[in-house]
Amino acid sequence: MTDTSSTRRTVRVELGDRSYDILIGPGLIAAAGSEIAARLKGRRIAIVTDAHVGPVYLDPFMRSLADKGIEAVSLVLPAGEKTKSFEHLMTVCDSVLGARIERNDAVVALGGGVIGDLTGFAAGIVRRGSRFIQVPTSLLAQVDSSVGGKTGINSRHGKNLIGVFHQPDLVLADTDVLDTLSPREFRAGYAEVAKYGLIDKPDFFAWLEKNWKDIFSGGAARIEAIATSCQAKADVVAADERENGLRALLNLGHTFGHALEAATEYDSRRLVHGEGVAIGMVLAHQFSARMNLASPDAARRVEAHLKDVGLPVSMREIPGELPPAERLMDAIAQDKKVKSGKLTFILTRGIGQSFVADDVPASEVLSFLKDKYLR
């Protein structure tokens, strides 16, 4: 048997007595029992997964737990963004309580960002806070949503508007599972990787421009990109856990992106989260250039790289009709980055020079959107 431990990376999220490790590398689902047993006082686990991930990874994950004497029950939910609802939240809570999971036990999210967000929210409110373990199975979840403790569900008013901050006790990012992702899913996750370079790591973005093909094909570049992304997010979370300042930068591209997701009614056939973020990051750079904050060259460079990897870079690429610009503005105004009714965007002065812009004129945003081919 090949020793995979030497290829693994560990990123520590420093939050005092709530600090935790992100383990990154191959073979971590098979090793989950050992890693969890070393950190868990209890011996019972409730696993939440979905109809796509469960048939592939649930059995090996449960075998790994059983080998270490950990008893587990599982719940398989429908796949897709629409699962982040009150209905499914109650299903998860009832399942966890029915399994008699206590505070020394744990709730595990085995899946992508939807399962992680939903399960983390349930773990945060059941028994006023239960131990929580993330086992992210998508690139997007491994580099973004599984780290930092932001959990929640969607509302008809917008995405992720209902939730709590609830940090995991452990994150197991098994890079082997990424080989089973569709090209579209992998590209969508890569958008979040690129985001870290565009926030404040221009050298990382330049490295991605040179190495993205190796990241997509697997190997050392993939693990390096994931570890760098996780470290970037861990540093921000440690400095600003509840998004009172610095952490807002992690939302680069998300205000536009979330509005586009809402406009497509979270229909994954039309748009998935990472694609919305990709378009949103291009829009954020274009809008920054329009406001004379950055050179148009930066926007063109972002657009060129994301287009190279196969991501959509404009609203015209979203299948089907989009609502009028005014309707998209309604979604933006409802977004959680709005404070006291003033629009807040993450804008940029160039590659790796993002900043929080408060009180962005709504009229400028509306005019910009209309220029971007929305009726």
Which sequence positions are flagged as catalytic?
A: 128, 150, 192, 233, 243, 247, 251, 254, 258, 273
Q: Give Rg (Cα) of the chain.
A: 20
- Strands 343-348 and 44-50, by their bridges, are unpaired
Q: What is the rounded CA–CA span in Å between residue 119 and residue 116?
A: 5
Instruction: Say how far apart CA 217 and CA 202 lie, in whole Å.
Output: 23
Q: Residue 136: CB partners within 8 Å, gap ≥ 6?
A: 109, 111, 112, 113, 116, 142, 145, 146, 171, 172, 173
What is the C-alpha separation between 105 and 41, in angstroms, rounded? Answer: 7
* Helix/strand/coil for 235: helix
Which DSSP symbol is given to 145? I
Alpha-carbon gap, residue 60 to 269, rounded angstroms: 30
Strands 9-13 and 343-348: unpaired
Let me know: does 134 contact 170? Beta carbons within 8 Å: yes
CA gap 116, 175 in Å, rounded: 17
Cβ atoms of 134 and 120 closer than 8 Å: yes
Rounded distance between C-alpha atoms, residue 86 and residue 89, angstroms: 5
Dist. CA 251–CA 273, nearest whole Å: 12
Closest CA to 260 of 241, 289, 281: 281
Angle of helix 183-200 relative to helix 273-290, nearest 10 degrees?
A: 30
